[in-house]
């Protein structure tokens, strides 16, 4: 073993984090103890020593000009009528909080949509055949998406209808898709996928996005000093921008990724730090964009690389992932999940990570400091996401020579295997999972390959076996106990017969707990949902992918409306959304497009609006009158679930199907119906 492979011990700290108090996950607890033994600082330590700013947390600090920051603390004797708080320019607390909030939406929408743009550019490269690395993999999905974008899939020739050339279709799809970021006329094409009444609401409210980039730019303009000073007008633009994310950039990212890399279909894998293997080269992929990770998956499975790994003394190559790049390669290839957002430093502290390859979003800069303590090569790959630390290697990924770039990275990891120190500790904890659901697979599972449909789902919602559907998504947040909120809310929901659709780090947390297995239904579900899961053979918590794949939740909900019997619009459905441990600006954008799509959406931890009660009330109460969906903030995850279920029951009552819930136990006729389904 080389000298520099030895663990570098940092100075010991006096005050230490109690692992049991900061995470419910045993592998994470184990690794926090190891970090403490080695004297290596992690996010859990920083969360203990650095407290958040109370004024910023409440959303009432304005730093949008050089006269500030202006801080507008909420006084104990706050009274709406006599609230005279204002910044130097006179901006009220409502204006300040609304500006900050919509700037978060802009940042979140930008992150999702720029990811989408990059995928669209790679798609164009593939359509033009400028690269050998990427090809159109899922022609069925291409033919499904093309008409939505207004691209014909057939032509009339000599009085006959004939299929168009797939390459021509792909090229036109690429052009149409890329145009959505900056077109000068009209509104986003994908808005047409929403139920008609929803489109009417957006039109009436004047929130139809014109193009993706423009809505983001306009937020930055409106929130510049001295522009938009009306919180209602600000949130209106926030809505338009969030819709450009959910029904635009994110949805395009999902569709184009499916066409390029394959539409996910349920597959079996495992989750948690225990997926790493001591006798293998461990490569961890982290971030969000799957364009590079797809290549790493392909390259690491080649005989050339496997032989090279064996030459260097390893038994093979173990790929695994963190955050949403993990969800992307899991849902298409079954690559195991190494961990959530808060486990990224811990994966290196195992001492067994030969390379961590990062792209964009959710990557801690402190990874470089942790990597310094081990042999781990930390590799940045994206031109917009570099790190200043000297030990970080930058291998810029280019789709024109994607395979070569991926090979370089995998070789580097293999070469590094022999530099491992002796102090390797991989926790044994890992759980089996089934992931890779989406609109297509839900249809298939519920209706079979020839009559794929959402009718069966609707029937079971109507008859009350499934009480409702919840989208539970989002990050971890070091200000709250890792995974506790995620797992509590999901378990409460499924116990009450609410089917859960999950993405992002919630999906990873559920996977680590074993909730993504059909078998978990018998342990955690109420009788109705348990029966459905057992008959259909699905988990009670369906993994729908990464953060951009929240668009799959929107489309699944739209399919439920189309299947009939549950109202005419998304806001009629017995559904609710939740981000129990959110931290990212992307979550705020997701929350706003869920709300504007008609969904009651509850966030945990905190929400930066509490210092402006009038603005908060507007988000929490008034938006329901406009969109049928509204925000909520609830710290206790059990209470989050209770409020979601109460909302679901309110919608069941409005649909006149609340009585069905009283008959949860099934008779023989009900069972036979299920078996037929
Ligand atoms: S990765 S945005 S911490 S879900 Fe999408 Fe997890 Fe949140 Fe990043």
Q: Are 536 and 630 within one domain? A: yes
- The upper half-sphere exposure of residue 107, i.e. CA atoms within 13 Å in the direction of its Cβ, equals 14
> Confidence class of residue 452 from pLDDT cuts 50, 70 and 90?
low
* pLDDT over 90 (residue 638): yes
Residue 445: its pLDDT value, please?
80
The CATH number assigned to the domain holding 223 equals 1.20.1270.30
Among the candidates 392, 419, 446, a domain finishes at: 419
Residue 451: its pLDDT value, please?
58
Q: Which domain holds residue 646?
A: 438-673
> If you measure from the C-alpha of residue 634 to the centroid of ligand 1, how many angstroms do you get, rounded to a whole number?
20
DSSP 541: E
Q: Which one of 323, 359, 511, 603 would you pick to mutate in the ligand 1 pocket, going by the greatest count of ligand atoms within 8 A of its CB?
A: 323
Helix (H) or strand (E) holding 588: helix 585-596
> If you measure from the C-alpha of residue 504 to the centroid of ligand 1, how many angstroms do you get, rounded to a whole number?
5
* pLDDT over 60 (residue 494): yes
User: What residues contact residue 66 under an 8 Å CB cut-off, 6+ apart?
Assistant: none
> Could you give the 3-state DSSP secondary structure of residue 3?
helix
> If you measure from the C-alpha of residue 499 to the centroid of ligand 1, how many angstroms do you get, rounded to a whole number?
22
Residue 425: its pLDDT value, please?
97
- 42 in a domain, yes or no? no
Q: Which one of 363, 474, 482 would you pick to mutate in the ligand 1 pocket, going by the greatest count of ligand atoms within 8 A of its CB?
A: 474
Single out the residue of 174, 122, 124 nearest to residue 151, CA to CA.
174
Among the candidates 364, 390, 419, a domain finishes at: 419
Q: Are 401 and 498 within one domain? A: no
Q: Are 494 and 607 within one domain? A: yes
Whose Cα sits closest to atom 1 in ligand 1? 323
Task: Give the total number of structural domains in the chain.
Answer: 3
Q: What are phi and psi of 601, to 5 degrees?
A: -130, 120
Among the candidates 419, 447, 477, a domain finishes at: 419
Residue 454: its pLDDT value, please?
86
* pLDDT over 70 (residue 243): yes
The pTM score is 0.94
Residue 92, beta-bridge partner list: 86
> If you measure from the C-alpha of residue 659 to the centroid of ligand 1, how many angstroms do you get, rounded to a whole number?
39
Atom of ligand 1 nearest to the CA of 474: 4
* pLDDT over 80 (residue 346): yes
Q: Are 158 and 305 within one domain? A: no
In angstroms, the CA 403 to CA 233 distance is 48
Q: What is the tens place of the pLDDT at every residue in 1-47?
A: 344 444 445 454 467 999 999 999 999 999 999 999 999 999 999 99
* pLDDT over 80 (residue 411): yes
Task: Write down the number of H helices and E strands in the chain.
Answer: 29, 18
Whose Cα sits closest to atom 7 in ligand 1? 475
> If you measure from the C-alpha of residue 363 to the centroid of ligand 1, how many angstroms do you get, rounded to a whole number?
10
- 114 in a domain, yes or no? yes
Q: Are 458 and 575 in contact (CB under 8 A)?
A: no
Interval 420-431 mean pLDDT: 94
Atom of ligand 1 nearest to the CA of 583: 7
Residue 5: its pLDDT value, please?
42
Residues in the chain: 677
> If you measure from the C-alpha of residue 459 to the centroid of ligand 1, how many angstroms do you get, rounded to a whole number?
33
Q: What is the tens place of the pLDDT at every residue in 349-404?
A: 999 999 999 999 999 999 999 999 999 999 999 999 999 999 999 999 988 899 99
- 19 in a domain, yes or no? no
Q: Are 214 and 240 in contact (CB under 8 A)?
A: no
> If you measure from the C-alpha of residue 673 to the centroid of ligand 1, how many angstroms do you get, rounded to a whole number?
40
> If you measure from the C-alpha of residue 324 to the centroid of ligand 1, how many angstroms do you get, rounded to a whole number?
6
Residue 449: its pLDDT value, please?
52
Residue 1: its pLDDT value, please?
37
Q: What are phi and psi of 321, to 5 degrees?
A: -135, 160
Q: Which one of 337, 361, 475, 485 would you pick to mutate in the ligand 1 pocket, going by the greatest count of ligand atoms within 8 A of its CB?
A: 475
- 463 in a domain, yes or no? yes
Atom of ligand 1 nearest to the CA of 476: 3
Strands 281-287 and 267-271: unpaired
> If you measure from the C-alpha of residue 134 to the centroid of ligand 1, how many angstroms do you get, rounded to a whole number?
26
> If you measure from the C-alpha of residue 552 to the centroid of ligand 1, how many angstroms do you get, rounded to a whole number?
16
Q: What is the tens place of the pLDDT at every residue in 454-472?
A: 888 999 999 999 999 999 9
Atom of ligand 1 nearest to the CA of 362: 8
> Confidence class of residue 110 from pLDDT cuts 50, 70 and 90?
very high
> If you measure from the C-alpha of residue 160 to the centroid of ligand 1, how many angstroms do you get, rounded to a whole number?
49
* pLDDT over 70 (residue 655): yes
* pLDDT over 80 (residue 50): yes
> Confidence class of residue 421 from pLDDT cuts 50, 70 and 90?
confident
> Confidence class of residue 660 from pLDDT cuts 50, 70 and 90?
confident
* pLDDT over 70 (residue 304): yes
Atom of ligand 1 nearest to the CA of 504: 4
Q: Are 625 and 476 within one domain? A: yes
> Could you give the 3-state DSSP secondary structure of residue 468?
strand
156 backbone φψ class: left, alpha, beta (φ>0; ψ -120 to 50): beta
Q: What is the tens place of the pLDDT at every residue in 536-559?
A: 899 999 999 999 999 999 999 999
Strands 498-502 and 468-472: parallel
User: What residues contact residue 118 under an 8 Å CB cut-off, 6+ apart?
Assistant: 289, 291
> Confidence class of residue 628 from pLDDT cuts 50, 70 and 90?
very high
In angstroms, the CA 504 to CA 340 distance is 9
Q: Are 445 and 308 within one domain? A: no
Atom of ligand 1 nearest to the CA of 473: 4
Q: Are 512 and 605 within one domain? A: yes
Whose Cα sits closest to atom 8 in ligand 1? 362
What tokens appear for 323 in the block? 């955050």
Q: Are 277 and 254 within one domain? A: no
> If you measure from the C-alpha of residue 505 to the centroid of ligand 1, how many angstroms do you get, rounded to a whole number?
5
Distances (CA, A) of 569 to 230, 461, 580, 651: 29, 16, 26, 12
Interval 175-203 mean pLDDT: 98
The CATH number assigned to the domain holding 554 equals 3.40.50.2030
- 194 in a domain, yes or no? yes
Residue with tokens 């293997």: 277
User: Which residues sit with their C-beta closer than 6 Å to ligand 1?
Assistant: 288, 323-324, 341, 361-362, 474-475, 504-505, 546-547, 584, 586
Residue 372's CB: how many other CB atoms inside 10 A? Answer: 18
Q: Which one of 290, 341, 364, 477 would you pick to mutate in the ligand 1 pocket, going by the greatest count of ligand atoms within 8 A of its CB?
A: 341
Q: Which one of 507, 547, 582 would you pick to mutate in the ligand 1 pocket, going by the greatest count of ligand atoms within 8 A of its CB?
A: 547
What tokens appear for 404 in the block? 């070569």
Atom of ligand 1 nearest to the CA of 546: 5
Q: Are 540 and 525 in contact (CB under 8 A)?
A: yes
- 74 in a domain, yes or no? no
> If you measure from the C-alpha of residue 5 to the centroid of ligand 1, how many angstroms do you get, rounded to a whole number?
31
> If you measure from the C-alpha of residue 529 to the centroid of ligand 1, how many angstroms do you get, rounded to a whole number?
28
Q: Are 401 and 445 within one domain? A: no
Strands 160-163 and 154-157: antiparallel
Q: Are 330 and 248 within one domain? A: no
Strands 498-502 and 431-435: unpaired
* pLDDT over 60 (residue 480): yes
The overall average pLDDT reported for the chain is: 94
- 183 in a domain, yes or no? yes
User: What residues contact residue 282 under an 8 Å CB cut-off, 6+ apart?
Assistant: 276, 318, 320, 352, 353, 354, 355, 413
> If you measure from the C-alpha of residue 234 to the centroid of ligand 1, how many angstroms do you get, rounded to a whole number?
26
Atom of ligand 1 nearest to the CA of 547: 5
> Confidence class of residue 663 from pLDDT cuts 50, 70 and 90?
low
Atom of ligand 1 nearest to the CA of 503: 4
Residue 676: its pLDDT value, please?
37
Q: Are 227 and 315 within one domain? A: no
- 475 in a domain, yes or no? yes
* pLDDT over 60 (residue 674): no
Q: Are 211 and 279 within one domain? A: no
Q: What is the tens place of the pLDDT at every residue in 563-620?
A: 999 999 999 999 999 999 999 999 999 999 999 999 999 999 999 999 999 999 999 9
């Amino acid at each position: 073993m080389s000298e520099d492979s030895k663990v570098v011990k940092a100075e010991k700290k006096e005050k230490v984090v109690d692992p049991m108090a900061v995470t419910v996950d045993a592998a994470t607890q184990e690794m926090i103890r190891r970090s403490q033994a080695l004297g290596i600082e992690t996010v859990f330590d920083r969360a203990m020593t650095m407290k958040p700013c109370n004024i910023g947390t409440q959303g009432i600090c304005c730093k949008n000009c050089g006269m500030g920051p202006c801080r507008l603390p909420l006084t104990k004797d706050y009274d709406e009528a006599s609230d005279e708080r204002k910044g130097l320019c006179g901006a009220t607390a409502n204006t300040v909080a609304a500006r900050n909030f919509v700037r978060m939406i802009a940042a979140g929408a930008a992150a999702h949509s720029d990811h989408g743009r990059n995928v669209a550019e790679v798609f164009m490269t593939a359509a033009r055949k400028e690269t050998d690395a990427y090809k159109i993999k899922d022609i069925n999905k291409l033919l499904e998406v093309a008409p939505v974008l207004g691209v014909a899939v057939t032509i009339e020739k000599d009085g006959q209808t004939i299929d168009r050339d797939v390459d021509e279709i792909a090229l036109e799809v690429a052009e149409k898709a890329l145009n959505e970021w900056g077109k000068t006329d009209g509104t986003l094409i994908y808005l047409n996928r929403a139920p008609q009444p929803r489109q009417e609401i957006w039109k009436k409210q004047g929130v139809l996005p014109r193009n993706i980039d423009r809505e983001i730019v306009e937020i930055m303009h409106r929130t510049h000093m001295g522009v938009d000073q009306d919180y209602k007008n600000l949130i209106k633009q926030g809505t338009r921008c969030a819709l450009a994310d959910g029904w635009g950039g994110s949805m395009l990212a999902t569709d184009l990724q499916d066409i390029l890399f394959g539409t996910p279909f349920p597959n079996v894998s495992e989750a948690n730090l225990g997926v790493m293997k001591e006798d293998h080269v461990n490569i961890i992929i982290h971030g969000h964009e799957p364009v590079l990770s797809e290549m790493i998956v392909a390259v690491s499975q080649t005989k050339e690389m496997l032989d090279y790994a064996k030459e260097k003394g390893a038994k093979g190559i173990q790929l695994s992932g963190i955050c949403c790049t993990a969800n992307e390669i899991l849902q298409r290839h079954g690559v195991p999940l190494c961990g959530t957002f808060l486990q990224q430093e811990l994966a290196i502290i195992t001492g067994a990570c030969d390379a961590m390859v990062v792209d964009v979003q959710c990557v801690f800069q402190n990874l470089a400091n942790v990597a310094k303590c081990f042999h781990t090569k930390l590799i940045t790959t994206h031109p917009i996401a570099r790190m200043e630390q000297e030990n970080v290697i930058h291998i810029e990924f280019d789709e024109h020579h994607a395979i070569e770039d991926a090979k370089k990275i995998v070789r580097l990891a293999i070469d590094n295997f022999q530099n491992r120190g002796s102090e390797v500790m991989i926790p044994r904890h890992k759980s089996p999972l089934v992931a890779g659901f989406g609109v297509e697979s839900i249809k298939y599972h519920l209706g079979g390959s020839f009559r794929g449909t959402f009718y069966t789902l609707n029937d079971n919602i109507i008859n009350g076996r499934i009480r409702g559907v919840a989208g539970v998504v989002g990050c971890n947040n070091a200000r709250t106990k890792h995974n506790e909120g995620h797992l509590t809310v999901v378990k409460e929901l499924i116990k009450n017969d609410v089917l859960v659709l999950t993405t992002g780090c919630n999906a990873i947390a559920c996977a680590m707990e074993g909730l993504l297995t059909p078998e978990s239904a018998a342990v955690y579900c109420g009788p109705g949902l348990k029966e459905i899961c057992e008959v259909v053979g699905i988990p009670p918590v369906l993994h729908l992918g990464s953060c951009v794949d929240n668009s799959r939740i929107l489309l699944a909900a739209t399919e439920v409306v189309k299947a009939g019997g549950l109202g005419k619009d998304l806001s009629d459905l017995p559904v609710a959304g939740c981000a129990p441990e959110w931290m990212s600006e992307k979550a705020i954008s997701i929350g706003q497009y869920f709300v504007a799509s008609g969904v009651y959406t509850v966030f945990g931890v905190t929400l930066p609006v509490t210092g402006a009660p009038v603005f908060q009330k507007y988000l929490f109460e008034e938006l329901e009158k406009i969109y049928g969906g509204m925000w909520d903030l609830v710290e206790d995850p059990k209470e989050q679930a209770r409020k979601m279920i109460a909302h679901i029951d309110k919608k069941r009552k409005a649909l006149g199907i609340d009585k069905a819930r009283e008959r949860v136990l099934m008779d023989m006729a009900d069972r036979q119906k299920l078996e037929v389904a």
